[in-house]
Amino acid sequence: MTQLADASNPNVPVEARRRRTFAVISHPDAGKSTLTEALLLHARAINHAGAVHGKAGRGGTVSDWMEMEKARGISVTSAAIQFEYADAVINLVDTPGHADFSEDTFRVLSAVDAAVMLVDANKGLEPQTMKLFAVCKQRGLPVITVINKWDRPGASPLALMDEIQNRTGLLPTPLNWPVGEAGNLRGVMDRRSGDFLRFTRTPGGATAAVSTRLSAAAAADEEGLEWENATDESELLDVEGQNHDSELFLAGDTTPVLFCAAVANFGVQQLLDTLVEFAPPAEARPDIEGVPRPVASAFSGFVFKVQSGMNTAHRDHVAYVRVCSGEFRRGMIVTHAATGRPFATKYAQQLFGRERTVIDQAWPGDIVGLVNASALRVGDSIFEDEPVEYPPLPLFSPEHFRAIRPVDSSKHKQFRRGIEQLDHEGVIQVMRSELRGEQAPVLGAVGPMQFEVVEDRMVHDFHADIRMEALPYQVARRTDKASALLLAPMRQVEVFTRSDNTLLALFSTPWRLQAIHRENPDLVLIDIANATVEDFR
């Protein structure tokens, strides 16, 4: 029997305070999926890491489950993983490892309360790193920075601190400090206690590394000059006021910094402890009007991802729902804010990468997989009792365009179903025009690798071989019906209707767009990347 709703359930704020929901983000190849596995190892959620380093006998990571991900060794889709550590419940979201999938990463950042930013010790702050720092700042997400790959040659730690401060505007406040230069990691100094954490490498990094805590005096005897250098540098940080302050961290003024080597499992335990101690729990989230909805309110949540093909035995799809308030109970009747229609949450599951188990309850901060809730799309809100709608998730401006057709016309039904599903998931933007006809949609992508995902999914999930043709367009702008009529006869321009009924005008080059706008200043041409919520209503 389904339990009745109780917005005053005293368990809700208690459980919300236990949650730590965060995303792991970085420039490609900084080690996100490897860090995810290392965190799971130290939380004892898995026994062996399925690393991405091509070691014989080692499988793909828990969070990388698509064949394309396993083959390339990169993440191309986000994955949610929940596990318990100490007295906390950790909701970890591993994000795509390539800039072409930044739209998926940005959606994930709307569903978490903090971010762990991974920085390559050798490469420092790379372009995608800077973009993600900016997004976290815009969304008010506190950021914990992890300097990874300290077991390999890299920059000096002080130089990295200067780079972080100068380029992000955040004051780095290291919680630990490396003993031994990059490439010769001996361990780390715990800057709060002054102790030395010495690490012992495990074979291939497949199991949790063993750490030994030594006093400062013992570390000085054992490490000599390396310990002395680390102590001197830590004292410089003290002089500069680079010590952790929780209020400044949560306000987005500072970023705690940890040094680690995820592939060897060095420094990972301290990251887990830092998340539990300092990362914010689930708190009130603002609705579309900017009014915070308290976590103790009746149940509400929003969909930040839809994914199919995770279960090869069934053609199901899963809507990832971030619980924002109240208690989620499997079987409860919720309302779909977009349509006002009720539906039952009969098939609710907890996610562990690709693996799923039935879940009966969830609390603010948790991520619930609703199976075969076919009406739900990315950005949709759901609620019980008290109506609420959360801000929509923006669509990025596509920069690459391809016409798509089935190779075998007899497979048109599978082709159409596949395109509709990928559009539903937000994998790709689907556009159509009267000129090209209903049977020849055009796909818009932020990056060209998205087309590879489409091809892989169409072949393996929907058994429909496809043929794609690159189109000579580089820029998209939102327009209206009146402007579309004026644009239609112009050269190097084509107007499409996206699946959400938005009119998009595609231009061959930015210069062509500028020329047309200069000659026709009254045309409505909205830069999608800078559009506001009001622009999309």
Tell me what pLDDT residue 262 has. Answer: 84
Q: Is the pLDDT of residue 130 over 50?
A: yes
**Mean pLDDT calculated for residue range 115-143:** 89
| 503, 379: one domain | no
Per-residue pLDDT band at 8 (split at 50, 70, 90): low
> Which amino acid does the sequence have at 177?
W
Q: Which residue is it, tokens 């010790």?
A: 121
SS3 450: helix
| 45, 170: one domain | yes
**Mean pLDDT calculated for residue range 235-260:** 96
Examine residue 274 and state whether it is found in any structural domain, yes or no: yes
Examine residue 236 and state whether it is found in any structural domain, yes or no: yes
| 464, 489: one domain | yes
**Mean pLDDT calculated for residue range 149-156:** 90
Instruction: Print the domain residue range for 358.
Output: 285-383
Tell me what pLDDT residue 271 has. Answer: 92
| 322, 218: one domain | no
Calculate Rg over the CA atoms of the chain: 25
> How confident is the prediction for the chain on average, in pLDDT?
85
Per-residue pLDDT band at 104 (split at 50, 70, 90): confident
Residue 493 in tokens: 């321009």
Tens of pLDDT, residues 266-313: 888 899 999 999 999 999 999 999 999 999 999 999 999 888 755 555
| 272, 290: one domain | no
| 328, 441: one domain | no
Per-residue pLDDT band at 60 (split at 50, 70, 90): very low
Per-residue pLDDT band at 388 (split at 50, 70, 90): very high
Give the separation between CA 159 and CA 155, rounded to whole angstroms. 7
Give the separation between CA 262 and CA 266, rounded to whole angstroms. 6
Domain boundary among 278, 310, 333: 278
Q: Report the CATH number at residue 445.
A: 3.30.70.3280
Binding site members for GTP: 94-98
Q: Is the pLDDT of residue 148 over 80?
A: yes
| 259, 143: one domain | yes
Give the separation between CA 330 and CA 374, rounded to whole angstroms. 17
Examine residue 102 and state whether it is found in any structural domain, yes or no: yes
Binding site members: 94-98
Tell me what pLDDT residue 5 has. Answer: 44
Give the separation between CA 433 and CA 411, rounded to whole angstroms. 22
Nearest to 385 by CA among 302, 327, 305, 320: 327
* 456 CB-near residues (< 8 Å, 6+ apart): 66, 67, 68
Q: Which residue has the higher pLDDT, 14 or 446?
A: 14
Examine residue 6 and state whether it is found in any structural domain, yes or no: no
Per-residue pLDDT band at 6 (split at 50, 70, 90): very low
Helix (H) or strand (E) holding 304: strand 300-308
Work out how many domains the chain is built from and give that number: 3
Domain boundary among 278, 300, 329: 278
Nearest to 131 by CA among 209, 25, 226, 236: 25
Q: Is the pLDDT of residue 534 over 50?
A: no
Q: Is the pLDDT of residue 1 over 90?
A: no
Pairing assessment for the beta strands 171-174 and 176-179 based on DSSP bridges = unpaired
Examine residue 404 and state whether it is found in any structural domain, yes or no: no
| 379, 463: one domain | no
**Mean pLDDT calculated for residue range 82-92:** 90
Q: Which residues pair with 367 in a beta bridge?
A: 322
Tell me what pLDDT residue 309 has. Answer: 59
Helices (H), 26-101: 32-42, 67-72
Tell me what pLDDT residue 95 has. Answer: 75
The CA distances from residue 129 to 26, 27, 97, 111, 336, in Å, are 5, 5, 11, 19, 35
Nearest to 301 by CA among 281, 317, 319, 321: 321
Helices (H), 379-504: 412-425, 449-460, 481-487
Q: Report the CATH number at residue 353.
A: 3.40.50.300
Tens of pLDDT, residues 498-521: 998 999 999 999 999 999 999 999
DSSP string computed for 385-415: SS---PPPPPPPPP-EEEEEEESSGGGHHHH
**Mean pLDDT calculated for residue range 132-153:** 90
Q: Is the pLDDT of residue 62 over 50?
A: no
Q: Which residue has the higher pLDDT, 421 or 226?
A: 226
| 244, 354: one domain | no
pTM over 0.95: no
What letter would DSSP give residue 266?
A: B
What letter would DSSP give residue 204?
A: G
Q: Is the pLDDT of residue 230 over 70?
A: yes
Strands (E), 129-232: 143-148, 171-174, 176-179, 187-190, 196-200, 210-214
SS3 205: helix
The CA distances from residue 342 to 332, 335, 336, 339, in Å, are 10, 4, 6, 9
Domain boundary among 243, 278, 313: 278
| 423, 306: one domain | no
Examine residue 165 and state whether it is found in any structural domain, yes or no: yes
Tell me what pLDDT residue 138 has. Answer: 82
| 270, 290: one domain | no
| 36, 151: one domain | yes
Q: How far is CA 519 from the centre of its chain?
A: 41
Examine residue 337 and state whether it is found in any structural domain, yes or no: yes
Per-residue pLDDT band at 203 (split at 50, 70, 90): low
Examine residue 7 and state whether it is found in any structural domain, yes or no: no
